Structure 1
Amino acid sequence: MTENKSINVQRIFIGSGCNRIVNNVSWGACGLISFGSQNAVSIFSPQTAKILTTLPDHKVSVNCTHWLPNTKFAFKATGWEKHYLLSGDAEGVIILWEFTLAENKWKYVSQLPKSHKKGVTCITAIVTSQNDAIFASTSSDCVVNVWKIDLPAFGGDCTVTCLDTISVGLKPMVTLSLAELPGSTTNLILAMGGLDNKIHLYRGETKGQFVRACELKGHTDWIRSLDFSLPVTINEEPHNLLLVSSSQDKGIRIWKMALIDSIPNSSKTKAENTLAYYIKGPIFTPGSFSYQVSLESYIIGHEDWVYSVEWHPPSLTESGSCFQPQSILSASIDKTMMIWQPERTTGIWVNVVSVGELSHSALGFYGGHWSPNGDSILAHGYGGSFHLWKNVGTGFDNWKPQKVPSGHFGSVTDIAWERFGEHLISVSHDQTSRIFASWIEGDHGTWYEIARPQVHGHDINCLAMINGKGNYRYVSGADEKVGRVFEAPLSFLKTLNHATSHLHDDLQADVQVLGANMSALGLSQKPIYAQALSETRDRSGNEGFDTLESIPDAVPSVLTEPPIEEQLAWHTLWPESHKLYGHGNELFSLCCDHQGKLVASSCKAQSMSVAEIWLWEVGSWKTVGRLQSHSLTVTRMEFSHDDKYLLAVSRDRHLSLFSIDRAEGSDEISYQLITRQEAHKRIVWACSWNPSGHQFATGSRDKTVKIWEVQKEQSCVQQLITLPAFKSSVTALSWTASHTNDGVLAIGMETGLIELWGLSLNKSEPKANLLIQFDPFMCHVSSVNRLAWRNTEKNDESNDMQLASCGADHCVRIFKVSFI
């Protein structure tokens, strides 16, 4: 890595959502939570509600993650210096990672040699001793692999060996669970369930092959989740093993595997009262032990598919023995998560805690997980969101929602800073726009998502912040051919006062709109006025009708602390003030000039007439220009910092430069094409102006970055320098002024890597030198879509700058760049 020691880069924020897939999340014994975010493995801390890092190396979407040890074996992991993480992706690749607690460092260990042919759907593991673990993986290729892993918890190398490969026929398994059989430390039981509605049990040994033991029938739809308890002790001897299963038939079943010796004839009368007496299950005999499987209980309570079930994690008692509470956590697509426990007198399992997601955009939970000590529960939902509840009651249950990280669950296509850098807005193919800001907590600020201005019905491709004076506004463009203008409501401005400690009273004076509401069957976000809201509340006391036409009104609220998912999705919408009609295809790029008077837009195009750039007048939103130059999609546009020029680059490999003239004393503008010339050999993806001159940079799929200068006298553009060729396509550029020479150029690539280059543009000898390559563990793990330097005019004395980036890995990242 080439590095200039006078520059230091820190990652200060990652915003990202969770892949919408079952088995994607795992809570480790170390207290950290792992999840897949597109092809990155993300790690977040529930204590700080921050994503700490992302792990690269997966080439496709991550389907599942699993900690070694996870919360179930936290009691065995006391004193461990190293923890391990398994991650499986949509191509069948499984990667093993090592995490050193003391140094807080991650290390890529290995890719498993015998990968699956199709996507991995589930990974399960048990820790058999301080240095050994067994794990199994299943895939859409109808194969289950069982592995043994030697864990050097106190140093040394990690080794993985494949114990067995099990072919499961034509219908793949989607969930697995492993356990040690009671009465033996070498006999294992593997449960698998999937598309044939049956639970298949395989028995095996820690060193040998697995053979079919029996099948359990009862569920009438796909099996979605399985989880073994630890062996239940009777008279201090492990005798029973419990298995909980959930299905798309909305039911949860508890199965008991008992040593046959533990059911003496004398207890037959006692057994008559149990369900097991009426439903005698199969018997299997691994080695010298025999076990009978019976249905212990059948739980009904959810109204839709139950995607996950999990036993309460065991804990160590004061005497040093292991105790596991009889408690099950279930998560369903019906938007609820429930805790079930047996009644003391009857033994019937009942629901003791129920929590859920109330947002209008919610479509249920894909999984639920216990914390290591069982005082918190976590769910991940359809919207890529996390929901965390903690039991804060003493002596009684009192589950309260907690802060969690949030972010997009689709490719993030564009970002833009507010003109003073107070907050960052992003748009994505997940059909939302989101605002991130540093929320002042004590002496420092922590970045959170503080608003979700737009929830849309189309993938959003681009945005532009309106830079002029007045209320915060932005324009977004989606796959629907229409530009939409949004204005900040009063509730957002007041929330910003709490977040940044900067008063925005000058903006609030003229704002009458309190928030926005989504129409029932449309895409428009209607304004909610302060006066109308109070009238609605007065009338709503008499009428309680709920029809398709009258969905519940949002209640815009001023947030005094960082919001949770329900508040973001429902109460932080911005009203839409205008629609910009004119383009014939999906909008692709937007930009605004620095005075906040003009917005330029372009759309996907395959002809010169469709590829024209439209100019819109801010305020009246009239069309004031249609600029023709390119024959294919204009991929990026940017106004020069004095607003005299508009630069455009295109898929047709050319760049265009237009002069923009404003008549003094009037709002009329005139424009003229100065030059159109071939810039690169492949698609030109990015461009950026020098903040303090008429030089600009272009970046292309041909892996080059070129620096150009406008020659006013000749009315042309001259190439100054070509940077050395990069290893992959250049997809994003952002140029900022710095304290030395002609600024710093941030370059983002298709591989996700980011580099900073220092520029010195002397006419006699222009130069560019590499300042720093960002650590791959800091960067995106797929294409960088946009880079943007934060405007720091309010704090010019500092040598620190901030760079925001967004990418196809669903992440928004903010870096702190320090010049020492």
Structure 2
Amino acid sequence: MGLVAFGSSRLIALWDHKAGRVLATIKGHESTVTAVRFIGDVLISGSADSTLRLWSPDSDGRFNCFQIVSDVHKKTITSLAVFGDIVVSGSAEGVFCIWSLIRNESQVKLELVEEKTIGPRFYPISLAVHGLEENRIVIAVGGTSNDTYLFTGDIKSQSFTLDAKLSGHENWIRSLSFKRHEDDILLASASQDNYIRLWRIHKGGINTIGNRTASDVEKDDEALNELADTTGINLLSNKVYHIDNDKYTLTFEALLMGHDDWIYEVSWHPSKLELLSASSDSTLMFWSPDASSGIWICSTRLGDVSIKGASTATGASGGFWNALWLDDGYSVATIGRTGSWRIWSLECTNNNWVSQISISGHVRAVTDISWEDSGAYLLSTSLDQTTRLHSTWKKDASWHEISRPQIHGYDMMAVKSFSREVFVSAGDEKTLRVFEQPKGIAELMENVCGIYTSSSQKENLPESATVPVLGLSNKEEETKSVETPDSERSESMNDDENIHGTIRSTLSALTEPPKEDHLQRQTLWPELEKLYGHGYEISSIDISEDKTLLATSCRANNETHAVIRLYETKKWLQLKSPLSLHNLTITRLRFSPNGKYLLSVSRDRQWGLWAKNESEQFELVASNSKGHTRIIWDCAWLPDSSGFITASRDKSIKIWKINGDEWNEHNQIKFDAPVTAIDISANGILVVGLESGALFIYELAINSFDPQLVEQIDEYITPSLRVTRISWRPQGKQFAVASEDFILRLYSL
């Protein structure tokens, strides 16, 4: 099928890397998906909910779960391995299980063959399985020890025995992979000691090197051990292991050194004798034996040159977690902690690996979203401590991450677009930050997205931004003005010009969406201002329709801090006298479309409405201390500002309208789960999001306060966890949905 399956929170994402998009996200697991494997057309998944689930596609291509195994493993599934119809699963209670996938005319079913343990305090985190002769199989198990354990057996006898314990690594075993090569089988083991070890399984007692017997090799091993004892130097072992009732011998083949940090995965090429490895040092390495000497060497290295422990804000990708061969070995893919898949494809004409456009996304819950006023781009914030900008590629209207304006040291909680060039965001801290688009990003968006900035505006934009070591603020790169000798000043100015000139020229030269190496290094926006005033972490922000006011709130457990602070946006200064009403955290602030009102909802179950008086100051004109019986999570204004809707944990939304000088409840709609997010389009289409991830669409007729249900969106394409924010695209028929399952979704009517 050419699909790549990967876990995303509780979901399994199915990604068509050739089409460049995720085709579906499969629901079912009740906790984080930790392992996925295809076995033919069947997909097997394991989760932190301790279950194994089997999925198969129907005639429409939808994957449906046809078996849940919940009574074997008791803790998190840590690893899966498959070979033919054999499945091996490991879990955090220290058990690994051997399964057989039974296929017959009536059903396909996973049956338990045997359950095994290795020892106390050992947890299997890497597994591999391969076939021997006469329907026998070999299983390699690695985990929280320095040794790799080999078991052999067959499915019919339902008996597997421990035949060998392979020593040599100096830390936990992270990945194992088998490869048949001619008459032998090669096993690659990767460890947190930064090394890869290769082992050769050979049928019979003759070693593959010359005509030396196994006893000859053992004598050499004894000599090496004696030398190690006398010199104190730990040399490579050449010990011979006998497995499967002495039918096979296993010897150490090679030690591969080159990675500078933990190695997370090794994977053999589908057809050639070539090994791919992925490491925390942010590199992929290709290993193969030299044609003349047979010595294993690194033939190609892809990825980044980064310092161990470096943050993504300083240009490090945070390491690579897996290594996948795609397209029969002509492409490779990996992903790291930044949430971006990275693909390289082999150009056969010059034998070079070329980086390709891929997909990216948040790696923790998405907390807030905001459209640019014209709908040109969408901003999102997440608990992964980033703010990201998404827009369409003008070539084919596909959506991509175009910029990563903020890589922060705090979880991000709120974002609001102020203009095409400026936005405001707030992390899990007391400070709000105002960002301005640099020239390089403006030119990038012109070339890639067709989003244009006038020449006069562009001239006033900063050049680029960087984050200082141990810093939280994106600093503008500009020419220094410190008094220095002419020669030093000239050299310093040239260095600065080279830095931001290189970033700008690199971005302005792009004609396709930036890849991860650009996003993590060169697409930051510099900070324009910092706004202070709140005593606790920011909870909500909004900007008035005329762009003159910024309203903010913070976490609070008393009325002293449960206030609304207003800032004028000309000089970004706080106005006096914060607005007081609530006793607990204000969860959402919304200015009315006509700019006359400011609405607030809170954890204290009440809403408050402020209106501008004759002196252009906001004063409280209405409130309801019993607006709902539980926390009010969200609110939204009707397009004509004649009423508003509130959404609550009490599983309802309420519509409020003005009657003379009073605002009264007009209608209420009940749901099966707490309502966590709502938004209304300019033409009166209401979208309701629930804690369960369900989405409902209602239509509000003109001058009517009685919503009519249009549809409940198919759960196959809705979030699996709480909907955190819904936002209609201005001047369009699309709306964005943020959720706790790490995914930002865009729907079209």
Question: TM-score of the superposition, structure 2-length normalised?
Answer: 0.90
Question: For 1:681-722, what per-residue CA distance to the aligned partner results, in whole angstroms no more than 9, with x for missing partners?
Answer: 1100010011123111111111011111123x32x2111100
Residue 784 (str. 1) matches residue 723 (str. 2): yes
User: 2:380: which partner in 1?
Assistant: 426
Aligned to 1:391: 346
Partner residue of 1:281? 240
Separation in 2 of the partners of 1:279 and 1:678? 77
Of 268, 276, 279, the match for 1:329: 276
Q: Residues 250-270 of structure 1, C-alpha deviation per residue, up to 9 Å, x if partnerless? A: 111111111116559992389
Mapped contact 1:662–1:670 kept (Cα < 8 A): no
CA deviation string 1:714-749 (max 9, x = no partner): 2x21111001x21111000001133xxxx2210001
CA deviations over 1:608-641 (Å, ceiling 9, x no partner): 0100000111121111251001000000110111
Q: 1:159 aligns with which of 109, 114, 139?
A: 109
CA distance in 2, matches of 1:156, 1:411: 41
Match of 2:407 in 1: 455
Pair 223,516 (structure 1): closer, same or farther in 2 beyond 3 Å:
same
2:688 is aligned to 747
Determine if the alignment matches structure 1 residue 93 to structure 2 residue 51: yes
Would you say the 8 A contact 2:606–2:623 is kept in 1?
Answer: no
Q: What's the secondary structure of 2:578's corresponding residue?
A: strand
Distance of 2:185 and 2:427 partners within structure 1: 54
Say if 1:226 and 1:600 are closer, same or farther in 2 by CA, change over 3 A.
Answer: same
Q: Supply the distance in 2 between the matched residues of 1:299 and 1:276 (Cα, whole angstroms).
A: 21
Alignment of 1:380-779 (within 5 A): 380-394=335-349, 396-441=350-395, 444-466=396-418, 471-505=420-454, 508-529=457-478, 539=491, 555-556=503-504, 557-558=507-508, 559-624=510-575, 625-661=577-613, 663=615, 669-711=617-659, 713-714=660-661, 716-723=662-669, 725-738=670-683, 743-760=684-701, 766-779=705-718
Q: Which residue of 2 aligns with 1:212?
A: 162
Distance 1:98 1:275, change over 3 A: farther
TM-fit CA distance, 1:541: 11
Aligned equivalent of 1:10: none
Structure 2 Cα separation of the partners of residues 505 and 61 of structure 1: 46
Letter aligned with residue 409 of structure 1: V
Matched-pair contact (CA < 8 Å) for 2:699–2:710: yes
User: Is 1:812 aligned to 2:744, yes or no?
Assistant: yes
For residue 104 of structure 1, give the secondary structure of its aligned residue in structure 2.
coil
Q: Give the letter aligned to residue 47 of structure 2.
A: D
Residue 49 (structure 1) shift = 2.3
- Give a deviation string over 1:400-458, Cα, whole Å, max 9, x none: 111110011111100010001010000011110000001111xx300000001111110
CA deviation after TM superposition for structure 1 residue 304, in Å: 1.5
Separation in 1, partners of 2:186, 2:658: 75
Q: Secondary structure at the match of 1:602?
A: strand
* Residue identity in the other structure for 2:22: I
Whether contact under 8 Å (2:605, 2:629) holds in the other structure is yes
> Per-residue displacement from partner, 1:240-285 (whole Å, max 9, x unpaired)?
2111101111111111111116559992389989999882322123
Letter aligned with residue 363 of structure 1: G
**Structure-2 separation of matches of 1:494 and 1:752:** 37
C-alpha distance in 2, partners of 1:275/1:266? 16
User: Which stretch has the larger CA shift, 558-567 or 453-462?
Assistant: 558-567
1:158-203 Cα shifts (integer Å, max 9, x gaps): 211111111222211110000001x32x101111011121111111
Aligned match of 2:192? 248
Q: 1:361 to 1:250 in 2, by over 3 A?
A: closer
Aligned residues of 1:789 and 1:803 also touching (Cα < 8 A): yes
> Is 1:512–1:530's contact at 8 Å kept on the other side of the alignment?
no
Partner deviation per Cα, 1:109-134 (whole Å, 9 max, x = no partner) = 2212434211111101011xxxxx11
> Structure 1 CA distance, aligned partners of 2:208 and 2:415?
73
Q: Which moved more, 1:573-582 or 1:43-52?
A: 43-52
By how many angstroms is 1:561 displaced? 1.0
2:608–2:624 contact (8 Å) kept in structure 1: yes
Residue identity opposite 1:373 in structure 2: D
Please give the alpha-carbon distance, in whole angstroms, between the structure 2 residues aligned to 1:385 and 1:502. Answer: 24
**Residues 302 and 263 of structure 1, relative CA distance in 2, 3 Å threshold:** closer
SS in 2 for 1:495: helix
CA offsets, 1:480-515, max 9 Å, x none? 100101111222222221233243225634423122
SS in structure 1 at match of 2:416: strand
Per-residue deviation at 1:671? 3.0
Q: CA distance change for structure 1 residues 671 and 275 in 2, over 3 Å: closer, same or farther? A: farther
Give yes or no for contact 1:516–1:525 (8 Å, CA) kept in 2: yes
Greater shift, 364-373 or 695-704, is seen at 364-373
Query: Secondary structure in 1 aligned to 2:716?
Result: coil
CA distance in 1, matches of 2:259, 2:399: 36
Query: For 1:264 and 1:311, how far apart are their aligned partners in 2?
Result: 20
Deviations 1:63-89 (A, max 9, x none): 1211224xxxxxxxxxxxxx1212211
Q: Counterpart of 2:521 in structure 1: which amino acid?
A: W
Q: Structure 1, residues 121-153: CA drift from partner, whole Å, max 9, x if none?
A: 1101011xxxxx11111011100011111357x
- Residues 570-604 of structure 1: CA deviation (Å, up to 9, x unaligned): 11111101111000000010111111111110000
Name the TM-score, length of structure 1 as normaliser.
Answer: 0.83
Q: CA deviation at 1:362?
A: 2.1
Q: Residue type matched to 1:99 in 2?
A: P
Structure 2 distance, partners of 1:409, 1:329, is 25
CA contact (8 A) 2:240 2:249 kept: yes
Distance 2:502 2:579 in 1: 41
Amino acid paired to 2:444: T
For residue 521 of structure 2, give the secondary structure of its aligned residue in structure 1: helix
Unaligned runs of 5+ in 2: 222-236, 306-311, 482-486
CA contact 2:596–2:612 (8 Å) conserved in 1: yes
Could you tell me which amino acid in structure 2 is paired with residue 134 of structure 1?
I
Amino-acid identity (%): 32
For 1:684, the aligned partner's letter is: I
Query: Which residue among 249, 256, 260 is the counterpart of 1:303?
Result: 260
Question: Match of 1:651, as an amino acid?
Answer: R
Residue 786 (structure 1) shift? 0.2
Change in CA separation of 1:537 and 1:777 when aligned onto 2, cut-off 3 Å? farther
| Aligned mates of 1:293, 1:222 — CA distance in 2 | 21
Q: Which amino acid aligns with 2:201?
A: M
Is the contact made by 1:699 and 1:730 (CA closer than 8 Å) also made in structure 2? yes
The alpha-carbon deviation at position 344 of structure 1 amounts to: 1.4
